[in-house]
Amino acid sequence: MRVIIKQDYDECAQWAANYVVYKINRFRPTAEKPFVLGLPTGSSPIGMYKELIRLYQAGKVSFENVVTFNMDEYIGLPPAHHESYHFFMHETFFKHINIKPQNINILNGMTTDYEKECNNYEAKIKSYGKINLFIGGVGTDGHIAFNEPGSSLTSRTRVKTLTMETIRSNARFFNNDIDLVPKTALTVGVGTITDAEEVMIIATGNTKAEALKHGIEGSISHMWPISILQMHQHAFIVCDDAATASLRPETIKYFKEIEQRTHG
C-alpha cells in the first residue's frame, strides 16, 4: 500500500486530481476503449472535483471517453433531492465537464427491485472489463462506500443498513436532523471496489485518524473495511497530516521517506 501524506485538504485535492488526469491521459481513452472511473460523494472528494473541473477548463483533460460508476446512493431519495448522490454528483462535478450522460452510472435508490438493480450494476461494470481507478473516501468507522463494519470483505453491490455512527455523521448534510437521514442505501461491495485495477482513498481531518490507524497499522478485519486495501496490489491513501494523528511516528516517517525517495 502507498500512503501519500500531504499538509492539508487542498494539497490532497490537488494531488488526487492531478493523478486522475495523469491516469486518464496516459490511458488515451477512446469511445471503444473508455477509461472507467469509480467515484465517491462526501466532503472528502469535493476539492478534487473542483480541481478536476479547473484542469478540464484549462484543456488538460477530457472526459469525453470516460465512463463513471458511483459507489453508492441512499434508498428513497429521488435524484432531485438535494442530498441524493445523483444531485451531488451532477451539481459538484458532472454538469461542469464534458462527460456524456450515457456514460454516467449511479445506483437507483428509488427502484422497487433492489436485487435486480444491484445485479445489473455489477454486470454493467463487468461489461467494461474492470474499473481502472476506484476513488473513495472513508467513514469515521472505517467504512468504504456504504460497506459498514461487519460487511463481508468480498461483498458485491447490495442493500446495506447504515450504522448509527454513519447516520449521526451524515446528519450534518440533513440539517443535523438524524430522522431525515435515510437508514438504508445501495452500495457497491468491498469486492466490487477491490476488483478495480487501482484504488485511491482520500482521507482528511483528524476524525479519520482512527480509521487510518486500523486501515494501515491494524490487521485485516471486516470491522474496519478500509483494512482490505492491504490485500490490494495497487491501493493507496492520500491523506493530510491531521488524518495521520493516530499513526505511530515511525509509520508516518516510513511512508513520508518512501514517497520522497521514490516519487519526490
Which residue ranges make up the site for ligand GLP (CB under 6 A)?
Answer: 40-44, 71-72, 136-139, 145-146, 166, 170
Q: Which of 51, 117, 141, 198 is catalytic?
A: 141
Q: Which of 51, 72, 198, 240 is catalytic?
A: 72
Q: Which of 86, 143, 214, 222 is catalytic?
A: 143
Sign of the Cα pseudo-torsion (96, 125, 87, 167, in order) = negative
Is 73 catalytic? The answer is: no
Shortest Cβ distance from residue 146 to ligand GLP (Å)?
A: 5
C-alpha cell at 182: 435515510
Q: Which of 73, 148, 195, 198 is catalytic?
A: 148
Is 148 catalytic? The answer is: yes
Nearest to residue 41, comparing CAs of 99, 117, 111, 93? Answer: 93
Select 175 or 262, whichever has its Cβ closest to ligand GLP: 175
Contact status, residue 193 vs residue 145, Cβ threshold 8 Å: yes
Residue type, 142: G
Is 141 catalytic? The answer is: yes
Contact status, residue 29 vs residue 188, Cβ threshold 8 Å: no
Select 65 or 190, whichever has its Cβ closest to ligand GLP: 190
Shortest Cβ distance from residue 65 to ligand GLP (Å)?
A: 25
Select 71 or 228, whichever has its Cβ closest to ligand GLP: 71
Task: Point out which residues pair with 198 in neighbouring strands.
Answer: 133
Name the one residue in this structure whose C-alpha cell is 482528511.
204
Select 29 or 45, whichever has its Cβ closest to ligand GLP: 45
Sign of the Cα pseudo-torsion (209, 213, 214, 220, in order) = positive
Is 81 catalytic? The answer is: no
Active site residues: 72, 141, 143, 148
